[in-house]
C-alpha cells in the first residue's frame, strides 16, 4: 500500500523571523496568520505547500540533531516550479534585490531552465521552468 500525503510543510530554521518574513514578502509570498507567531511563520507557497520558518531556538525543540548553519553548509535545496523562463528570472531577481545572495548560475537545458539563490539565512532555493511539451515521451 502506497502512502500519500496531500500537503507538505518544509521546516527551516531562521535567525530573525521578522527579517525573513520581510524578505519572502518582497518575493510575493503570503503568510497564514493562524500559524504565525513570534516563534514561527507559515509561508504559503501554494495551496498544498508551506514553509514553516522557525526561529532557531524553537526549531531545536523538534530535533535532537545539531542544526545546520545554512550560511556555511547545505542541508536542503528547495526547488519551486515557475510557469515560464521569465518568471524564473523575475523571482530570482527579486530575491537578489531584497537581500538574497546568488547561488548557482542559470542553467538552460532547452526543455528546462533553472536559476538559484540563497535566502537571507543561507537556505538554497532553485526556481525551475520545465517545458513539458519538449520532454520526450518514453
pLDDT digits (tens, 9 = 90+) for 59-109: 999 999 999 999 899 989 999 999 999 999 999 999 999 999 999 999 999
Is 6-63's fold the same as 71-138's?
Answer: yes
- Which CATH class, in words, describes the domain spanning 6-63? alpha beta
Confidence of residue 5 (pLDDT cuts 50, 70, 90): confident
Confidence of residue 3 (pLDDT cuts 50, 70, 90): confident
Fold of 71-138: 2,3-Dihydroxybiphenyl 1,2-Dioxygenase; domain 1 (3.10.180)
Distances (CA, A) of 21 to 14, 37, 55, 94, 136: 10, 11, 11, 14, 40
Q: State the pLDDT at residue 35.
A: 96
Q: State the pLDDT at residue 123.
A: 96
Amino acid at each position: 500500500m502506497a502512502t500519500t500525503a496531500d500537503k507538505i510543510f518544509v521546516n527551516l530554521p531562521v535567525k530573525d523571523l521578522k527579517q525573513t518574513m520581510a524578505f519572502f514578502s518582497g518575493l510575493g509570498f503570503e503568510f497564514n496568520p493562524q500559524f504565525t507567531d513570534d516563534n514561527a511563520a507559515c509561508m504559503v507557497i501554494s495551496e498544498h505547500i508551506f514553509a514553516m520558518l522557525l526561529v532557531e531556538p524553537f526549531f531545536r525543540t523538534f530535533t535532537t540533531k545539531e542544526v545546520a548553519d545554512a550560511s556555511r553548509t547545505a542541508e536542503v535545496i528547495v526547488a519551486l516550479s515557475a510557469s515560464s523562463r521569465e518568471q524564473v528570472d523575475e523571482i530570482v531577481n527579486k530575491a537578489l534585490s531584497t537581500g538574497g545572495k546568488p547561488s548557482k548560475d542559470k542553467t538552460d537545458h532547452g526543455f528546462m531552465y533553472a536559476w538559484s539563490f540563497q535566502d537571507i539565512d543561507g537556505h538554497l532555493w532553485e526556481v525551475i521552468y520545465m517545458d513539458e511539451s519538449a520532454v520526450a515521451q518514453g
